[in-house]
Amino acid sequence: MERKRIARAVYVWTIARFHNRSYRTRPMQLDRRHDHDPYGWCIAIALGFLALALWRIGVPTRYYFDEVHYVPAALKLLKMIPANREHPMFAKEVLAASIHFLGDRPFAWRIPSVMLGTLGLFAFSRSVWHASKNGWATVAAMILLATNFMWFIQSRIAMLDMTMASLAMVALWQFGAALDAGSPGRARVRLMLAGLCMGLSIGAKWTSVPVMIVPGLTFLVLRLRESGWRIVGRSGAGPMPGISLAEAALWLGLFPLAVYWLTYLPAMFYDRKPVLPFDFIGQHLKMLKLQDSVTKAHPYRSVWYQWVTDWRPIWYLFENVDGARRGIIMLGNPLTLLAGLPAVFWALWAALRHRRYDALYFAVLYLLCIGMWVHNTKPVQFFYHYLLAASFLMAVLALALEQVARRKGRWRWLGAGTVAASVALFVLFYPIIAGYPLPYLKAYNFWMWSPTWR
C-alpha cells in the first residue's frame, strides 16, 4: 500500500512538472544537451579565415569579373553620379566609403568583403549555437562554411553579395541571441540590432529577402506555440517575455523597412534623376524593370538546379595578370554541396520524427533561399546567387554529421571525417580559387573534375 502511494505521488509530480514546464527555454532547440559554448574556437576559426582571406588580397591588381561594374559605380557614387541603379545602395556605399578613406586601389576595393566575410562567418556560428546549443555542430558548421569555397571566394572580391550575406547572418545571430537574452531589456537591444542588420542586408542586395522574413515568422510561430490563438494581449507571454507581438513586429518588420529606405538617402541628392523620398513603390518598379531588361545571353548563365548539383560554376578570372597565369573559379566544394542535399531530407524527417527544430530551422532557410530562384523570373542568373542558400546548407549538413558522429558503430567516423575531407579539398583547390600562379597553361586541368566546370 505504501509503495502504491509513493508511485502515485511520483506520477502526479511528473505530470505536474510536464504541464508546468516553460517553453521559453530554447524554443528553437531540440537537442537539450548542455554543451559548452565553443566561443573561443569560433573566434580562432574566424581569425584564421581572416588571415587567409587577406593573404595577397591585392592580386589581381586590376578589376576582375563583376568588379568592373561595382567599383566604377562606387567611384561615381562618390561624385554623386547615378550608376548601377538596378541594385540597392548600401553595398556600394560601403565600397565607396572604403575607397574614400583608403584610396582607389585593390586593397580598398576588396577589404570590405574580407572584413564582412569574416564577421558573417562568425555570426553564422553564433546563429547555429543559439539554435542548437550543440558545440560540435557549431564548430563543424563554421569549418564547413569556411571551406565550402563560395564563402571564401566572395570574401575576396568587390561585389555586393558578401555585404548582403554577412549582414543577413548577423541579423539571424542577433535574433537567436534575443531568444536567449533572459530579460526584456537585453532582448529588445538584440531585436533592434537584428532589425538594423535586416534592413542593411536587403539594402545591399534583395537576395536576402526570403531569409529576413524568417525571424518575424519564427517569433509568431513560437508565440502561437505557447499562447495558442490568443497571441495578443497576454502579459509576459511569448518566446521573449516582456516583448509583445506588436513590438516584435516593429523591430522585425517596420524598422528594417525604414532602415532599408534610408540607405537610398545619398541617391536622393543626385543632381540628375534623384530618388524621390516618398516614391518607394515607383523606385522599385524602375529597379525591377532595369533588372528584367538584361536578357542578353551570357556564357556563365545558369539556373537553380545547376547550382544545387555544383554543375555550372563561373570562371571569375583566367588569364595572364601580374606576371603569371592565374585562375579563379567560383565553384562550390563538391563534397559538402552534394552531401548537404540528403542532409536537407534528413532535417525534414528529423523535425517530423524527433522534433529537431534546429535542423528544421536551417532547412527552411535553405529551401526559402533556393525557392526564390526556382520561381524567379529574372532572365539571367548566376551560380553566385546560391551563396546564401549554400551557407545554410552547411548548417544542415553539420547537424546531420553530428547525429552520425555521436552514434556508436563503425560509421561514427563519418562525422569528423567529412569535416576533415572538406578542409582537405579546400587546401587542394586553394590555388584555383585564390588566384595563385599556375605553373603552366594547362595546369588548371588538374582541378577540372567535371567537363561542365570548364
Residue 231 lies in a domain: yes
CA 116, CA 153: separation in Å to the nearest integer? 13
pLDDT at position 449, please? 95
pLDDT at 148 over 80: yes
Which residues have CB under 8 Å from 63's CB, separation 6+? 71, 109, 158
pLDDT band, residue 225 (cuts 50/70/90): confident
pLDDT at 227 over 90: no
Query: What average pLDDT does the segment 56-69 reach?
Result: 96
pLDDT tens for 407-444 read 877 888 999 999 999 999 999 999 999 999 999 889 99
CA 330, CA 429: separation in Å to the nearest integer? 11
Residue 12 lies in a domain: no
Residue 329 lies in a domain: yes
Residue 26 DSSP one-character state: -
User: Nine-digit cell at 162?
Assistant: 558578401
Long-range interactions of 260-265: CB distance < 8 A, separation 24+: 260/88, 260/199, 260/200, 260/202, 260/203, 262/199, 263/88, 263/89, 263/90, 263/93, 263/199, 263/200, 263/203, 264/88, 264/89, 264/203
29 φ, ψ (degrees, to nearest 5): -95, 145
Residue 210 lies in a domain: yes
pLDDT at position 163, please? 98
**Strand partners of residue 437:** 326
pLDDT band, residue 28 (cuts 50/70/90): very low
CA 312, CA 422: separation in Å to the nearest integer? 20
Query: What average pLDDT does the segment 154-179 reach?
Result: 98
Residue 155 DSSP one-character state: T
pLDDT at 375 over 50: yes
Q: Which domain holds residue 308?
A: 26-453
Residue 422 lies in a domain: yes
Residue 18 lies in a domain: no
Alpha-helical segments (H) within 79-233: 90-102, 106-132, 135-146, 150-154, 161-179, 184-204, 209-212, 214-227
Residue 201 vs residue 2, higher pLDDT: 201
CA 76, CA 70: separation in Å to the nearest integer? 10
pLDDT at position 16, please? 41
pLDDT tens for 276-304 read 999 999 999 999 999 888 877 778 899 99
pLDDT at position 262, please? 98
pLDDT band, residue 63 (cuts 50/70/90): very high
pLDDT band, residue 232 (cuts 50/70/90): low
CA 251, CA 243: separation in Å to the nearest integer? 10
Q: How many domains are contained in the chain?
A: 1
pLDDT band, residue 6 (cuts 50/70/90): very low
Rg (CA), the chain: 24
Provide, rounded to the nearest whole percent, the portion of the chain with pLDDT above 90.
79
Residue 4 lies in a domain: no
Average pLDDT, rounded, for the chain? 90
Residue 419 lies in a domain: yes
